[in-house]
Chain A
Amino acid sequence: MILKWLRIKNFRPFFGEQQISFSEYEQRNVTLVHAENGVGKTSLLSAVLWCFYGRLVEGVEQPEDILNHEAAARGENEYEVSVRFSHEAKEYEAVRKGFDSTNRLQVLEVTGRGFIPVPHAENFINGVVPSSMAGYFFFHGEGNLGTKGKNIRGAVRDILGFGFAELAVDDLDNIIASVRRDVTKHAKGSSLIQINDEIERAEEKAKEEKMLRDRLIKENAQKEARKRDLQAALRAVDNLRELQETREKLQAERTRKKKELIESRREELEFINKFGWVIFGDMLQALESKYLDDPEVKGKFPSPYYETFIKDLLDQGTCICGEDLSSHPQKQANVRRLLASAGTSQLIDRVSGARSKVTEIRTMRAEAPDQWRKIRASVRRVENELVGIERQVDEAEEKIDSSDTDEVEQIEMELKELENRLFNIAVALPRCRAQITELEERKKSLEVKSRQASAKERELMQLRARQDFIESVRDQITGVLDTAEESAIAEIESRMQGLMESISRKDYTPTLDVEADALRMVSNSNIQVGASTGERLLLNFVFISTLIQICRERASDSSELLIPGAIAPFVIDAPFGELDDVYKTETAKFLPQRAQQVIVFLSTSHWKGRIEKELMPYIGTEYVLISRRRQPDDGKRQKDPIEIRGKTVEQSVYGCEVDMTEIMEVDW
């Protein structure tokens, strides 16, 4: 980009339409603008930035105050900055018009046949000189970049075109955080491994129980067969046949009675389950019934009047006594107060529910004694019958035992052992079957959970893969940025050292302290040395000029991740600041070489000394900003004279028609 001219209208101190043309010469590439402080140097620099990017120089006072005061006083409300520039062998005109607090940029291509609008003006300007790099080309020398250890790393990253890549990293980090939250949420509910372990354990346990069950069934069959054999053997003994048959019948009857007793006792337990709470609730229901059935309370609980009734009275504006409530606010308020204690449908439902529960308790309480007596009688009857049968079995056994033969004694002993074992099997087998059923049910329920967890686990894996994927994309970007930054810092340091060697009278080396984000001067023995204000400014200036040199070299960078650099003029406001004469001279010497086009804003104090001599051979166009004031010239006011090319110009003029800054070309 080469700037051709700048046209401003009603922009800050510049009233009306004024223009400044920039030097486009190759040798005399410097455009010099003289102005005292507060007259408009920074506003002129801001005008370029505002036209291209819609912003002013950072730190400028009252940035919202753009419309010239004189124009505003005359009822005008539009302001405008146009910049004509060339870029890649074409000519363009950027025009930004402001109206109140809004503004709009238009870029036109200037051709032999007229103006052609360029689409996406902001995008186009950013393609010519990216917004993130503009601050270094259009540089406010009195700004504090670098002098307070601020923004050094940011400046390097800006000039390397990290802007959109860094924004993309921010966005990716934001998305990664959101995916990570989802992963955490899913991971909390995921217990697939634990569930599958439990299924395995249940399966193993069920397998063991099934083996036990089969063993018991087999043993039971064997023992029963053996029992039948022994019983047959007893029956075969001559005088025991009848006795043995009697015993077998009694034993069968005993088994039936035992089952009957178990059933009766189960009924007992069921009764307790069903009526136990009624017995405990009996006292409570008695108290509640007493209250609910009290003739004094009946029909008045929860409230003698209903909410709807009170609301109807208020809506109609008439009390039940016939009093007009609308004309008696106090009475109306009294009626309204009743709403707080009125019965609502919810309260009525609750009371009704309580009444029905009390009735249920009362009915059950009445039925309970009869049922209990019947169950107890049944249990007692079966118990007595069982005792009788047991006695008969014992008598039959005694008779068989009294036969007193070795053979019978041996059979009896084995039968008793068999009975004991069969009893144990009879107890163990149902327990074993129940255990198997329970384990199988548990396994089924775990399998359902496992399927659910498995679905979650799949989602979790996909989420983790998504997180990894986005992180790898982010790492690609940060990897490129970090590598570019690292090599650029080494390059910048090396170039700054070369420049400082030619300017500085001291044998100090400039370094970029990335950790501390600061520019430093170090001695030959690598010890940091304190720099004066002027030296810090010089260091800062050398840093910026190195950055724009690198930016220029990156103009054709075709990296997909980074914004390419730019070729642009170096527009610098107050580059000499607090430099002493020697540093001013050295800076003035190398300044014209820093860019193809250099635009310098200087105050009279900066112009003094040898700067004029050093810069003069490079000056292509030259301007003075004249401060025009309405205040009358009483002869005492400072007229700020400056001598340019052998002629004295007064930079402050009084007794003018308007307050404004005028751009005056030095053309003598």
Chain B
Amino acid sequence: MNDEKGQVIGDEKKSNYADSVPTIDTVLAHRVASKVIWVVRTSVLVSQASDRERRLKVRKVLNDAMAKGVAEK
């Protein structure tokens, strides 16, 4: 991690959390943020989903990202 903020967050997690907990880095957070916005945008414009449906989709993006974070680690 090059980003100073990301480095701090990542190190903190490593020292405090169990092995199953993924490290949080800025690159991953940025990638997930883009994906979340994309999901929100398509939910509104294409599927015209309700707030609840849209948030479920956002949750799925986050869950997938967390799971992937664990697998990568």
Binding site for B on A (CB under 8 A): 120, 122-123, 126, 164-165, 167-168, 171-172, 174-175, 458, 461-462, 464-466, 468-470, 472-477, 480, 560-561, 563
Contacts and interface: CB of A to CB of B under 8 A. Distances in A.
A469 B22 contact: yes
Interface string B6-22: 00010001001110111
A175 B62 contact: yes
A168 B17 contact: no
Contacts of B9: 468, 472
A560 B27 CA distance: 13
Given A123-B45, A468-B24, A473 B40 contact: no
Complex A-B, nearest 4 residue pairs according to Cβ-Cβ distance, in ascending order: A560-B34, A123-B45, A465-B21, A476-B33
Contacts of B20: 458, 462
Interface residues of B, number: 34
Contacts of B40: 164, 167-168, 171
A174 B45 CA distance: 21
A463 to B, nearest CB: 10
Given A164-B44, A171-B54, A468-B9, A473 B36 contact: yes
Interface in B19-46: 20-22, 24, 26, 29-30, 32-34, 36-38, 40-42, 44-46
B21 A168 contact: no
Residue among A175, A470, A561 having the largest count of chain B Cβ atoms under 10 Å: A470
A167 B41 CA distance: 9
Contact of A476 (B29, B51, B58): B29
B37 A165 contact: yes
28 contacts: A120-B46, A123-B46, A126-B45, A164-B37, A164-B41, A164-B44, A165-B37, A168-B37, A171-B36, A171-B40, A171-B58, A174-B55, A175-B59, A461-B16, A461-B21, A465-B24, A469-B22, A469-B24, A470-B62, A472-B9, A473-B32, A476-B29, A476-B30, A476-B33, A560-B33, A560-B37, A561-B33, A563-B41
Nearest to A123: B45
A634 B38 CA distance: 63
A461 B18 CA distance: 7
A181 to B, nearest CB: 14
Given A164-B44, A168-B37, A470-B62, 11 more contacts: A120-B46, A122-B48, A165-B37, A168-B36, A168-B58, A171-B36, A465-B13, A472-B26, A480-B33, A560-B34, A561-B33
A171 B50 CA distance: 12
Contacts of A120: 45-46
A461 B22 CA distance: 11
B58 A172 contact: yes
Given A167-B40, A168-B36, A461-B17, A473 B62 contact: yes
Given A167-B40, A174-B55, A469 B62 contact: yes
Q: Report whether over half of chain A's contact residues are helix, strand or loop; otherwise say mixed.
A: helix
B49 to A, nearest CB: 11
Interface of B: 9, 13, 16-18, 20-22, 24, 26, 29-30, 32-34, 36-38, 40-42, 44-46, 48, 51, 54-55, 58-59, 62, 65-66, 69
Nearest to B57: A171
B45 A469 contact: no
B2 to A, nearest CB: 15
Contact of A465 (B22, B33, B54, B58): B22
Contacts of A468: 9, 13, 24
B29 A472 contact: yes
Contacts of A465: 13, 17, 21-22, 24, 66
Contacts of A560: 30, 33-34, 37-38
B3 to A, nearest CB: 10
A544 to B, nearest CB: 25
Contacts of B34: 560-561
Given A120-B45, A175-B55, A560-B37, A473 B13 contact: no
A598 B10 CA distance: 52
Nearest to B42: A123
A610 B30 CA distance: 54
A417 B62 CA distance: 78
Contacts of A563: 41
A561 B29 contact: no
A550 B37 CA distance: 22
Contacts of B45: 120, 122-123, 126
A175 B48 CA distance: 20
Contact of A458 (B18, B51, B62): B18
A171 B44 contact: no
A85 B18 CA distance: 58
Contacts of B54: 171
B21 A476 contact: no
A560 B46 CA distance: 18
Contacts of A123: 42, 45-46
B38 to A, nearest CB: 8
Contacts of A462: 18, 20-21
A415 B51 CA distance: 91
Contacts of B24: 465, 468-469, 472
B29 A473 contact: yes
